[in-house]
């Protein structure tokens, strides 16, 4: 038997949803009206939320022997009352009519108990593992939507025992978080010249990241690749000098462009190159005029666009940045300054919400070493609170081999 929580705009819709997802066996236990959806607390809509349970079908149902019924009943009653040990035992030992008892009797008793203890607060009744799950996700700064999704999935897919033990639950959740991460398919040997454009808010580290990429392919790689850099950051005093300096040190050509024609010409000069890295002017995403100008030039480069954003950005600001730069049709996200934060939940939440792929991470000012291709492990190793869960995964793998 598994529990579920579902929402829909009306009672009719939620019942249809439950029947569609869990079949005729699904039973609803509670119903309440909630506010759902919306942006930053605005435009929230009324919805009906139901909780209930369903069984997996005849083949998977354990026979309802008096013992299994009694065990199930004990578990449910102890959860509802928050009882442990002796108190649970005394509830379980209350005469109940013995072997003829059906699950619906237990559920009726459960509902009555819930009402008698004040009802409504389902969180208080949560199994230990689930309580810990919420707190670990919160500690890692996952958004409430992400946490909600994971918690609902856990309730939907795992048995009562699966939710009770943090180590086993944490190991499953780590797998789900990993599966949710989409990494950008960066192919080192894609067709050339490969034009890569970095966009993003001011001061996040675009120019430094361009220098790291240029150094990695144009100086460190073996064999060395043919690389050039283009900047459209010439509006700001000192910006051109910054990238020119990198070019000089690495012996790579750098060009500054201010018009579409120049951009077209520079790209045509790069036909024999492997990589062209294009740096853009750092402007606030709210400065629409400048963004439109940059957009014109970037479109002319006809390259793949990556959004650079500092990993230290607050979740709400991050959402805003992702949205404001959407007209650039960026296909990858680069998180910079990973060394300045110890939480990655907000990064994974915004990636999940926007269905974007992450391409690179930077974690320091040193060129080129503080740059890594984003991998699932780049994030999972930075999560806290999963240590024992992680070792449970390892034990699993070892025991399977």
Quick one: what does residue 336 bind among Mg ion, ligand GTP, none, with the CB cut-off 5 to 8 Å set by partner type? Answer: ligand GTP
Q: Report 201-230 residues binding Mg ion (CB under 5 A).
A: 206-207
CA separation, residue 385 to residues 140, 178, 301 (Å): 8, 15, 44
- Compute the distance between CA of residue 149 and CA of residue 81 in angstroms, rounded to an integer: 26
What is the smallest separation between the CB atom of 365 and ligand GTP, expressed in angstroms?
4
User: Which C-beta is closer to ligand GTP: that of 78 or that of 336?
Assistant: 336
336 binds ligand GTP (CB under 6 A): yes
Sheet containing 27-36: give its strands across: 2-8, 45-54, 27-36
Cα torsion for 96, 98, 99, 104, to the nearest 10°? 0
**Residue 48 to residue 136: CA distance in whole angstroms:** 28
Which residue of 277, 330, 370, 389 would you call a contact of ligand GTP, by CB under 6 A?
370
Looking at beta carbons only, is 168 or 307 nearer to ligand GTP? 307
Among 114, 172, 228, 337, binds ligand GTP (CB under 6 A): 337
359, 383, 356, 382: which is closest to 372 by C-alpha? Answer: 359
* Using rule CB under 5 A, residue 310 touches Mg ion: no
Residue from 114, 155, 172, 206 in contact with ligand GTP (CB under 6 A): 206
Report if residue 378 touches ligand GTP, rule: CB under 6 A: no
Q: What residues are paired with 229 via a beta bridge?
A: 254, 277
Question: Taking CB under 6 A as the rule, does residue 282 contact ligand GTP?
Answer: yes
**Which span sits near Mg ion by CB under 5 A: 36-44, 120-128, 156-164, 275-283?**
275-283
Closest residue to ligand GTP in the complex (CB) = 282
According to DSSP, the residues that pair with 196 across neighbouring strands are 277, 304
Judged by beta carbon, residue 274 or residue 370, the one nearer ligand GTP is 370
Q: For 292-340, give the DSSP string.
A: HHHHHHHHHHT-EEEEEEETTS-HHHHHHHHHHTGGG---EEEEE-GGG
Q: Is 337 exposed, middle or buried (0-12, 13-18, 19+ CB in 10 A)?
A: buried
Do residues 363 and 338 make contact, with C-beta atoms less than 8 angstroms apart? Answer: yes
Q: Applying CB under 6 A, does 274 fall inside the site for ligand GTP? A: no
> Which of the listed partners (Mg ion, ligand GTP, none) does 352 bind, with a CB threshold of 5 to 8 Å by partner kind?
none
CA 110 – CA 337 distance, rounded (Å)? 51
In this structure, how many other beta carbons lie within 10 angstroms of the beta carbon of residue 199? 26
Q: Does 362 bind ligand GTP (CB under 6 A)?
A: yes
Contact letters for ligand GTP, residues 227-266 (x by CB under 6 A): ------x-----x---------------------------
Question: Which entry of ligand GTP, Mg ion, none binds 337, CB below 5 to 8 A by partner kind?
Answer: ligand GTP
Determine which residue in the list 70, 149, 287, 339 makes contact with ligand GTP, applying CB under 6 A.
Answer: 339
Pairing relation of β-strands 194-199 and 275-280? parallel
Among 364, 373, 385, 390, binds ligand GTP (CB under 6 A): 364
Give least dist CB 340 to ligand GTP, A.
5
- φ, ψ (nearest 5 deg) of residue 260: -65, -40
For ligand GTP, the binding residue among 38, 120, 203, 327 (CB under 6 A) is 203
Which residues make up the interface to Mg ion (CB under 5 A)? Answer: 206-207, 282
Which residues make up the interface to ligand GTP (CB under 6 A)? Answer: 202-208, 233, 239, 282, 336-337, 339-340, 362-365, 370
């Amino acid at each position: 038997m598994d529990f579920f929580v579902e929402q829909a705009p009306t009672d009719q819709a939620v019942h249809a949803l439950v029947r569609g997802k869990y079949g005729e066996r699904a039973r609803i236990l509670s119903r309440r009206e909630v506010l759902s959806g919306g942006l930053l607390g605005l435009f929230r809509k009324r919805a009906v939320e139901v909780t209930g349970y369903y069984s997996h079908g005849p083949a998977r149902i354990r026979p309802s022997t008096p013992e299994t019924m009694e065990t199930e009943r004990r578990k449910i009653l102890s959860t509802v009352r928050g009882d442990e040990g002796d108190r649970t035992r005394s509830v379980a030992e209350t005469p109940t009519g013995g072997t003829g008892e059906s699950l619906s009797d237990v559920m009726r008793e459960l509902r009555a108990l819930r009402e008698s203890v004040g009802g409504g607060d389902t969180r208080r009744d949560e199994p230990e593992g689930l309580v810990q799950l919420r707190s670990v996700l919160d500690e890692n700064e996952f958004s409430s939507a992400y946490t909600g999704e994971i918690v609902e999935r856990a309730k939907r897919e795992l048995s009562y025992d699966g939710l009770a033990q943090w180590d086993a639950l944490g190991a499953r959740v780590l797998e789900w978080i990993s599966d949710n991460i989409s990494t950008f398919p960066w192919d080192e040997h894609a067709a050339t010249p490969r034009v890569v454009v970095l966009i993003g808010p001011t001061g996040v580290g675009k120019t430094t990241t361009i220098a790291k990429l240029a150094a990695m392919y144009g100086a460190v790689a073996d064999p060395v690749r043919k690389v050039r850099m283009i900047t459209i950051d010439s509006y700001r005093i000192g910006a051109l000098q910054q990238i020119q300096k990198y070019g000089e040190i690495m012996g790579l050509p750098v060009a500054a462009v201010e018009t579409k024609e120049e951009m077209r010409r520079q790209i045509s000069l790069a036909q024999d190159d492997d990589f062209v890295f294009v740096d853009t002017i750092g402007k606030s995403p709210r400065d629409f005029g400048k963004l439109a100008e940059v957009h014109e030039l970037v479109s002319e480069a006809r390259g793949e666009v990556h959004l650079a954003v500092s990993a230290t950005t607050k979740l709400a600001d991050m959402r805003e940045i992702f949205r404001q730069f959407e007209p650039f049709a960026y296909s990858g996200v680069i998180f910079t300054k990973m060394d300045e934060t110890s939480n990655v939940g907000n990064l994974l939440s915004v990636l999940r919400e926007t269905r974007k792929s992450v391409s690179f991470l930077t974690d320091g000012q040193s060129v080129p070493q503080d740059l890594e291709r984003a991998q699932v492990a780049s994030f999972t190793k930075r999560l806290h609170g999963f240590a024992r869960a992680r070792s449970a995964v390892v034990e699993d793998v070892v025991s399977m081999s």
